């Protein structure tokens, strides 16, 4: 008789664990694809990383890190006083179920590279996303290092025209 009670309790716990896992997946674990950076030239101590990111619930990209650099930042390109300027932002809006492309208009910047990036290398990145309820999720991705000069780089840089990069922490 006790065996039946334990067995029922075990089933209930298993069902609860599955429900919690399903809720966590539905929360919108970030999905990152197409992460890459160009190889660096001798003496270059920074590099841009480009990628596509999706979330299932509205969120913000609030942090990025990598062991290959002293620091990593989120950068956007903006027109200021008639000139295109690159600047760091505190966060980047990630609308639910809408792919955000970090490409020619926004990117991640690795600063203080610890060694040159060579074609074929993989760069580990940790991206942290914060949801409206202040819950944070981090995901680790690997960015491919591509040759410094290649005939298809222009095609790999997404056209950011008309892309809504959302609100940014100023």
Q: What is the pLDDT along the chain (170 residues), one digit of tens a residue?
A: 555 554 555 554 444 444 443 333 344 589 999 999 999 998 999 999 999 999 999 999 999 999 999 999 999 988 888 898 889 999 999 999 999 999 878 999 999 999 999 999 999 999 999 999 999 999 999 999 999 875 444 444 443 333 333 434 43
Residue 79's pLDDT is 83
Residue 9's pLDDT is 54
Structure tokens at 41: 């030239």
Q: Which domains does the chain have, with CATH numbers?
A: 30-156 (2.60.40.1890)
Place of tokens 């926004």: 106
Q: What is the pTM of this model?
A: 0.71
What residue spans of the chain are helical by DSSP H?
A: 2-26, 153-156
Parallel, antiparallel, or unpaired: how do β-strands 46-54 and 106-113 relate?
Answer: antiparallel
How far is the C-alpha of 102 from the C-alpha of 86, rounded, in Å?
Answer: 13
Cα-flanking dihedrals φ and ψ of residue 141, to 5°?
-130, 165
């Amino acid at each position: 008789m006790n065996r039946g009670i334990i067995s029922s309790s075990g089933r209930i716990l298993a069902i609860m664990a599955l429900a919690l896992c399903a809720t966590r997946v539905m929360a919108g674990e970030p999905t990152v694809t197409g992460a890459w950076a160009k190889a660096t030239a001798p003496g270059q101590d920074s590099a841009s990383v480009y990628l596509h990111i999706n979330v299932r619930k509205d969120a913000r990209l609030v942090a990025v890190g990598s062991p290959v650099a002293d620091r990593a930042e989120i950068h956007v390109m903006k027109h200021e006083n008639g000139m295109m300027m690159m600047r760091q932002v505190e966060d980047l809006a990630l609308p639910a179920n809408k792919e955000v492309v970090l490409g020619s208009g926004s990117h991640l910047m690795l600063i203080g590279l610890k060694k040159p990036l060579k074609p074929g290398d993989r760069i580990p990145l940790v991206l942290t996303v914060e949801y409206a309820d202040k819950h944070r999720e981090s995901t680790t991705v690997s960015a491919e290092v591509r040759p410094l000069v290649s005939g298809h780089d222009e095609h790999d840089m997404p056209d950011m025209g008309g892309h809504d990069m959302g609100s940014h922490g100023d």
